[in-house]
Amino acid sequence: MSVRLGTIRGMHFQSEPHAQGKLVRCTAGALFDVVVDIRRGSPTFGQWVAETLTPENGVQLWIPPGFAHGFCSLEPNSVICYKVTSYYSAECDKGLRWDDPAIGITWPDSADPDTLSPKDRLQPLLADLPEYFSWKA
């Protein structure tokens, strides 16, 4: 649960051998949910997409391995629900900077950087991210 409006979480992913696919939905409140392609060589490398998730609209978002995921709460007390393809692995837990100018995510006006976790404040830029995933045509 993200209690505060504008809470930012992300951008997260897991590397091999415990890479995760994620199916996410919002069960309370509302979320601006973001996905970034981090597969080196992909025609969409570094590009992002976003969806608004609410219990009312029923939208779910599938995030395959090779994509970083994050969100911003659009209402207080927003809840995200995950189904994942692999268990959490601290060793494989990785991230990407939420406000990397090379990616240029247009976050909602309510996005509050003060809500970032200490871990999320230290994530690398895309240009500094090792090649965890590569694209295969």
Which residues are tagged catalytic? 12, 82
Cβ atoms within 10 Å of 112's Cβ, excluding its own: 15
- Give CA–CA dist 64/61, Å, rounded: 10
Strand order in the sheet with 22-28: 61-63, 22-28, 79-84
- Give CA–CA dist 48/37, Å, rounded: 7
Cβ atoms within 10 Å of 1's Cβ, excluding its own: 12
φ/ψ (deg, to 5) at 135: -90, 135
The amino acid sitting at 48 is: W
The 8-class DSSP code of residue 78 comes to B
